[in-house]
Amino acid sequence: MREDNNPLLSIICTSYNQEKYIRESLEGFLIQQTNFLFEIIVHDDASTDNTAKIIREYESKYPSLFNNIYQIENHFTKPDVNIWFDIVFPMARGKYIAICEGDDYWTDPLKLQKQFDFLEANPDFGLVYTDSLAYYQSTKELKILEKPKNKQDSFFKDLIFGASNIYTLTVCFKREFLQEYVNEVRPYSKGWLLGDLPLWLFISTKTKAHYMDEMTTVYRVLEESASNTQNLNKHLDFRKSVFKIKLFFLNKYFKEDQKTKKEITSIYLYEQLVWNISFKGNFKQFLIFLYEFYLGNNNFRLFVGSFYQILKKFKSQFIHK
């Protein structure tokens, strides 16, 4: 690791009230062994605990590495502000971007070097990602996150159908796509509940991605988060946002692909049904979603087959209770 003012890669870290975890994240950045220059940009969103104090401590030790942002008021709750695209990404100077949230961390000291080397040697690729472990905070268990089912370089359809799981903390990508993404997609106005999936989908329409079959990071699974929640309504809102994102990109870049649109609509409605049954057995909502499922497919055979699968799941849940 070298310190300088002209980085080739920018590490982006966003944090809020993560005093328990932020040191592990920062140490994961500092262990990186590279033959190129990188910078670390940590955005603290007006934490009310000691998170900002810890970040400042590291900044004082490595002033030429860190270029941090300390908010006085919280920006996450502001509907007209996108922390990534309005605040953090514009500060990045590197040719490449790597992201790690303040409660996750990197374990491989050569993560950045390996990803940088690949992207430099293969200019037709714009993104590299790896495998990751998951650390379950409540049980202290460490497990391997699901690996990609399809490891092809062309990954748009894989993202649409979930065949490629791109975990944000494992990614390194070309910064040049960011402004293009903002101009073409205008994510601010969409009200999406997640920021990484639409960015990966956009990049997948412009370039190829490379999967490295290596374990380089640890994703911390908290008891409650946007993507991991025991609240039914929050979960359904999150899944609905995922569905809207996928539909948006299909309509924008693959408008004629009606088959895929119908398939993801079917999957989405099926998920809604299963989650409603799993959480509270709401029969009225079950029937509403079932009707929407039929309308979304206009395919009686698929409708009957899916209805049978749902009933099987419903029955098995009660048998095993």
Exposure string of 194-215, with b = 16+ CB inside 10 Å and e = fewer, is: ebebbbbbbbbebbebbbbeeb
d(CA 144, CA 202): 27
pLDDT of 225 strictly over 60: no
Task: Work out the average pLDDT over 7-12.
Answer: 98
pLDDT band at 277 (very low <50, low <70, confident <90, very high): low
**pLDDT tens readout for residues 23-78:** 999 999 999 999 999 999 999 999 999 999 999 999 999 999 999 999 999 888 77
What does the pLDDT read at residue 1? 46
153 has which bridge partners?
A: none
Hey, which residues does 131 pair with through a beta bridge?
A: 215
Contact indicator for 30, 1 with CB cutoff of 8 Å: yes
CATH numbers and ranges of domains, the chain:
9-221 (3.90.550.10), 256-319 (no CATH)
DSSP state of 169: G
Tell me the pLDDT tens digit for each residue of 280-319: 555 566 666 666 655 555 555 555 555 555 555 444 443 3
Q: Are 116 and 128 in contact (CB under 8 A)?
A: no
pLDDT tens, position by position, 175-222? 999 999 999 998 888 888 888 999 999 999 999 999 999 999 999 998
Closest CA to 247 of 285, 291, 197, 282: 197
CA distance 92 to 254: 31
Write the DSSP string, 92-155. Answer: --SSEEEE--TT-EE--TTHHHHHHHHHHH-TTEEEEEEEEEEEETTTTEEEEPPPPS---S--
Q: What is the pLDDT of residue 122?
A: 97
Q: Is the pLDDT of residue 234 over 70?
A: yes
Question: What is this structure's pTM?
Answer: 0.82
Q: What is the pLDDT of residue 131?
A: 95
Q: What is the pLDDT of residues 132-184, one digit of tens each?
A: 999 998 899 999 998 877 666 678 888 888 766 899 999 999 999 999 999 99
Tokens 């996108």 label which residue?
A: 82
Contact yes or no for 179/89 (Cβ under 8 A): no
